[in-house]
């Protein structure tokens, strides 16, 4: 059954390269109009997943629907140009010998291209730059040309592969904000691949966490960060401290004390986000500061407990801590509790 509520729906997709299953049981549904960040560590198969959705690689198993049409599945494999999917590559892949207008027009069907190019350039706020060559544009502007070219064919879905990684860190955040606004304004469904947690959480309405070829959790940024389904997801999506613990089904005991636990019984992993811990100069579980990463607005302080574990604690920038300082660590909130892995 195809379903029109989803701009894209992947079920059990597998893509192998020789013995390596780069994508391995990939399930993903993106509601029409949603911007989803596909977040995962390097090599987990994100690019391959995009390529099989776009039809640039042929999937070995599973099915893919785009805009309510089956584009890949048993006996079906539509070519990329029939899938109504637009792609923006990491390096933007503009034609260097064509000006901005010609680059955008490339994505258009025959007919009155001029008016449509002007509309598209206005949409991505590049009016007046139609005659520029790609090398005369900033990275952010080149990206908007690539986006305009991808939007030209009125796709059901836009795929963007690490679209901000080629931009200077100084402008990355600004361009990210612009792209987010633009995608929302157009109302297009988009999947944006990134390995950057902060980027994923700040950019998208939904985040899918991909590890080892499959999606382990999909949800809003707050859900994925605040209620990870597994230790693996929790550790990938934010700074996390994992301590061994024991649960009696109602409470869990670990080096930082006793906490409420779900029904889980027996040996467990007890996970505290770095900001769920606090440092005090009197009281708490004793330890010594072994490292300080100062970021200006906040700091990450590593404390080695006398019992041997090293914990990372995220704090406001003040008060400052010195390496070697004796401190105590306390928990500010309830931990996540997972079966011992
Ligand atoms: P990164 O963030 O580093 O780009 P990724 O999550 O996008 O990584 P992929 O590029 O999809 O990961 O690669 C997933 C796995 O598949 C890797 O082990 C990679 O080496 C392998 N792989 C990807 N493309 C090919 C190919 N054409 N031939 C052989 N192996 C490939």
pLDDT digits (tens, 9 = 90+) for 35-85: 999 999 999 999 999 999 999 999 999 999 999 999 999 999 999 989 999
DSSP state of 89: -
- Ligand 1 neighbourhood includes 213 CB (under 6 angstroms): no
- Ligand 1 neighbourhood includes 245 CB (under 6 angstroms): no
Question: In whole angstroms, how far apart are CA 76 and each of 82, 182, 185?
Answer: 12, 33, 33
Phi then psi for residue 101, to 5 deg, are -60, -45
Residue in 19, 43, 57 to alter for ligand 1 test, most ligand atoms within 8 A of Cβ: 43
> Considering the chain, what percentage of its residues have pLDDT values greater than 90?
65
- Ligand 1 neighbourhood includes 194 CB (under 6 angstroms): no
How far is ligand 1, taken at its centre, from the CA of residue 80, in Å?
20
How far is ligand 1, taken at its centre, from the CA of residue 49, in Å?
9
Handedness of CA 164, 169, 173, 179 (dihedral sign): negative
Strands 336-339 and 277-280: unpaired
- The protein residue whose alpha carbon is closest to atom 1 in ligand 1 is 42
Retrieve residue 247's tokens: 């649960």
How far is ligand 1, taken at its centre, from the CA of residue 20, in Å?
9
How far is ligand 1, taken at its centre, from the CA of residue 314, in Å?
33
**Which stretches of the chain drop beneath a pLDDT of 50?**
none
Question: In whole angstroms, how far apart are CA 203 and each of 1, 219, 254, 294?
Answer: 31, 13, 35, 25
Containing H/E element for 314?
A: strand 310-316
- Ligand 1 neighbourhood includes 19 CB (under 6 angstroms): no
Retrieve residue 129's tokens: 């730059």
Predicted local distance difference test score (pLDDT) of residue 262: 74
Handedness of CA 88, 218, 40, 72 (dihedral sign): negative
How far is ligand 1, taken at its centre, from the CA of residue 48, in Å?
6
pLDDT digits (tens, 9 = 90+) for 88-99: 888 788 899 999
Q: How far apart are CA 166 and CA 263, in angstroms?
A: 46
Containing H/E element for 27?
A: strand 20-31
> How many CB atoms neighbour CB 232 within 10 A?
16
Residue 303: closest CA among 317, 292, 316: 292
Predicted local distance difference test score (pLDDT) of residue 124: 86
Q: How far apart are CA 184 and CA 195, in angstroms?
A: 22
How far is ligand 1, taken at its centre, from the CA of residue 310, in Å?
33
Measured from the CA of 18, which atom of ligand 1 is nearest?
29
Q: What is the 3-state secondary structure (H, E, C) of 149-212?
A: HHHHCCCCEEEEECCCCCCCHHHHHHHHHHHHHHHHHHCCEEEEEECCHHHHHHHCCEEEEEEC
Torsion of CA 123, 110, 78, 189, to 10 degrees: 10
Residue 186: closest CA among 148, 213, 160: 148
Residue in 48, 195, 210 to alter for ligand 1 test, most ligand atoms within 8 A of Cβ: 48
Residue in 16, 20, 24, 161 to alter for ligand 1 test, most ligand atoms within 8 A of Cβ: 20
How far is ligand 1, taken at its centre, from the CA of residue 304, in Å?
37
Residue 88: closest CA among 28, 145, 171: 145
The CA radius of gyration of the chain, in Å to the nearest whole number, is 24
Q: How far apart are CA 13 and CA 27, in angstroms?
A: 7
Peptide bond into 51 cis (omega under 30): no
Q: How far apart are CA 335 and CA 277, in angstroms?
A: 10
State the DSSP string of 256-269: TEEEE--S-EEEEE
Residue 39: closest CA among 188, 272, 198: 198
Predicted local distance difference test score (pLDDT) of residue 311: 97
């Amino acid at each position: 059954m195809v379903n029109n509520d989803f701009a894209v729906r992947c079920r059990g997709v597998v893509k192998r390269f020789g013995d390596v299953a780069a994508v391995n049981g990939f399930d993903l549904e993106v509601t029409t109009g949603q911007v989803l960040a596909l977040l995962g560590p390097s090599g987990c198969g994100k690019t391959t997943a995009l390529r099989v959705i776009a039809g640039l690689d042929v999937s070995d198993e599973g099915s893919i629907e785009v805009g309510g049409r089956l584009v890949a599945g048993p006996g079906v494999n539509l070519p990329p140009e029939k899938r109504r999917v637009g792609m923006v590559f990491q390096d933007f892949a503009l034609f260097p010998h064509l000006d901005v207008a010609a680059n955008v027009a490339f994505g258009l069907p025959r007919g009155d291209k001029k008016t449509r190019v002007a509309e598209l350039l206005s949409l991505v706020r590049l009016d007046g730059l139609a005659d520029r060559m790609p090398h005369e544009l900033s990275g952010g502007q080149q990206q908007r040309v690539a986006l305009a070219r991808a939007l030209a064919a009125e796709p059901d879905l836009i795929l963007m592969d690490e679209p901000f990684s080629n931009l200077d860190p100084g402008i990355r955040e600004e361009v990210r904000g612009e792209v987010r606004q633009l995608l929302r304004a157009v109302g297009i469904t988009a999947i944006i691949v990134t390995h950057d947690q902060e980027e994923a959480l700040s950019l998208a309405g939904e985040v899918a966490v991909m590890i080892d070829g499959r999606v382990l959790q999909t949800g809003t940024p707050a859900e994925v960060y605040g209620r990870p389904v597994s230790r693996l997801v929790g550790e990938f999506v934010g700074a996390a401290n994992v301590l061994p613990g024991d649960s009696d089904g109602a409470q869990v005991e670990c080096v930082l004390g006793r906490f409420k636990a779900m029904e889980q019984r027996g040996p467990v992993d007890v996970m505290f986000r770095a900001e769920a811990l606090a440092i005090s100069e009197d009281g708490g579980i004793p330890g010594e500061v072994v490292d300080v990463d100062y970021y200006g607005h906040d700091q990450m302080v590593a404390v080695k407990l006398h019992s041997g574990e090293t914990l990372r604690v995220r704090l406001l920038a003040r008060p400052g801590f010195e390496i070697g300082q004796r401190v105590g660590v306390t928990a500010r909130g309830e931990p996540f509790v997972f079966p011992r892995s």
